[in-house]
Amino acid sequence: MLNKKWILIALALLAMVLLIFAKRNVTIDKSIKQKGVCWVGTRDSITIEQMLPLKEHGITWISLTPFAFQSSFNDTTLRFHHKEDKKGWWGESFNGIRQTTRMAKRLNLKVTLKPHIWLRQGWPGEIEMGTEQKWKTWFQKYENYILGFAQLAEEEKIEILCIGTELKKTIHRKEWTKLIITIRKIYKGKITYAANFDEYEQVPFWHQLDYIGIQAYFPLCKNPSCSKEEIISKWKTINADLQNFYQQQNKPILFTEIGYRSAKDAAVKPWEWPDRNQDDNFSEETQAQAYEAFFKSTWNEKWLSGVYFWKWYPRLSERLPQTDFTPQQKHAFTVLKKYFNLEPNDKGY
């Protein structure tokens, strides 16, 4: 009787452990595309009411981007705020991310946590150390930065953690392999890396990750007057390359960012930052056209697991340049809403 009792206890404990791991591992249904936006961290706290428009218009995922700051491409100092540090913006703090995640989950929205280095003189793809000692120091700082968020992501059961963004001159370093192993020990969700559109084929560690992440700011035409049909044609060429890469890697692709300014040249160099002094370049129509071309040409590709549009403000400001990336209160939002609310078998999907 005693042995039978202990056997029953052991089986019950085993069932509980299996249930815990089962719940952790089935949070993402890969047959359902991630319909995401890049949620902008705010200076002050937000309310759940500010998230309601997401739910109402078919958005199912948000990405959160806490920044670290680096002065120059070869600087080994990363400045960031961990724990409950009250410095910096609330939306990028541990407390802000925690509260934002909990509000999102109350609305049945899923979350990707996507830490990002803001390079004050340039962009993250230029980060490169000149000596082995500097590389060692930089990766130590970066590990401290990313592991703090890995722990937070695990505590809050955030569905996806992006371990780096556009760090194209660092990806050849062996430190990444060790860092990914360390992250896996802390965080049990899905992980990706956000490669720049001209970088993804060079990343050597996709086999260690769950998704191929791409910052999908592909140039789509050579002049601002290009038509929607020309943009769709360019996407078809890009899609063929991505399809081949998907088959080589046997791993789903996630557009960790995609977006277009509401500007006449939005599809020429989609990655360019909006200029406050170029409101004469404003064009809602061009932005909407780029959205429509993406959805018609690429959204229904089987290799694409989802997309995150840059970017979505909890509260819009009149100080934003007209040509800002956001689709909010613009023609592009009508396009986004239409396709995000279609089912796979709906006409036009």
Phi/psi class of residue 291: alpha, beta or left (left: φ > 0; alpha: ψ in -120 to 50)?
A: alpha
Among 25-39, 61-75, 150-164, which is the least confidently predicted range? 25-39
Quick check: 21 pLDDT over 50? no
- pLDDT attached to residue 319: 78
Dihedral sign (CA 241, 236, 200, 113): negative
pLDDT at 29: 75
Largest CA distance in the chain: 85
- Kindly tell me if the per-residue pLDDT of 326 is higher than 70: yes
pLDDT, mean over the chain: 90
The confidence score (pLDDT) of residue 87 equals 67
E-strand ranges in the chain read 34-39, 61-64, 67-70, 110-113, 116-119, 160-165, 190-196, 211-215, 253-258, 304-312
Least confident of 88-97, 120-129, 258-267, 271-280: 271-280
Candidate from 80-89, 128-137, 303-312, 317-326 with smallest mean pLDDT = 80-89
Window from 131-135, 171-175, 278-282 with minimum mean pLDDT: 278-282
CB 220 within 8 A of CB 293: yes
Q: Which pLDDT score is estimated for 348?
A: 36
What value does the mean pLDDT take over residues 31-45? 94
49-77 pLDDT, tens digit per residue, is 999 999 999 999 999 999 999 999 999 99
Which element (helix H / strand E) includes 272? Answer: none
- Check the CA dihedral 159-120-276-258 and report its sign: negative
Residue 322 has pLDDT above 80, yes or no: yes
Q: Is residue 19 scored above 50 in pLDDT?
A: no
Please state, in angstroms and rounded to a whole number, the distance separating the CA atoms of residues 11 and 17: 10
Q: Which domains does the chain have, with CATH numbers?
A: 32-340 (3.20.20.80)
Give the separation between CA 91 and CA 47, rounded to whole angstroms: 12
Pairwise pLDDT comparison (346 vs 107), residue with the higher score: 107
> Predicted confidence band at 85 (pLDDT cuts at 50, 70, 90)?
low
Residue 2 pLDDT:
46
Residue 274: per-residue pLDDT: 86
Residue 11 has pLDDT above 90, yes or no: no
Residue 13 tokens read as: 């404990």
Give tens-digit pLDDT for 231-280: 999 999 999 999 999 999 999 999 999 999 999 999 999 999 987 666 67
Confidence of residue 83 (pLDDT cuts 50, 70, 90): low
What is the pLDDT averaged over residues 116-128? 94
Backbone angles phi and psi of 195, in degrees to 5: -85, 140
